[in-house]
Amino acid sequence: VRTALAVIGKGCLSASFNCVFLYTTELYPTPIRQTGLGFGSTMARVGGIVAPLVKMMDEYYPFLPPVVYGVAPVVAAVVAGFLPET
C-alpha cells in the first residue's frame, strides 16, 4: 500500500509540475512570460528543497508533517480554482 501511494503521489507531483508550464503560458503576457516561467519553476524547486525539511520536523513535532503535506495541496487546489480559464 505504501509503495502504491508513493507512486500515485509521484505521478500527481509530476502532473502538477507540468501545470506550472501550462498556466504560465496562459496567464502571463508575452513580454514577461519567461520571467513568470522562471518564478514558477523556482518555487517548484524551493518546494522540493523544503519537503525533506518538513519531514525532519517529525522528530520535534510529530503532527506537523501530515498537516503540512495534507493542507498544502488543498490550499493549492483552492487557489488554482480561482485562476482564469482561457
Cell numbers for 3, please give them: 509503495
SS (H, E, C) 9-76: HHHHHHHHHHHHHHHHHHHCCHHHHHHHHHHHHHHHHHHHHHHHHHHHHHHCCCCHHHHHHHHHHHHH
pLDDT of res. 1: 77
* 10-residue averages of pLDDT along the chain (86 residues): 83 80 86 91 89 90 88 85 82
pLDDT of res. 26: 86
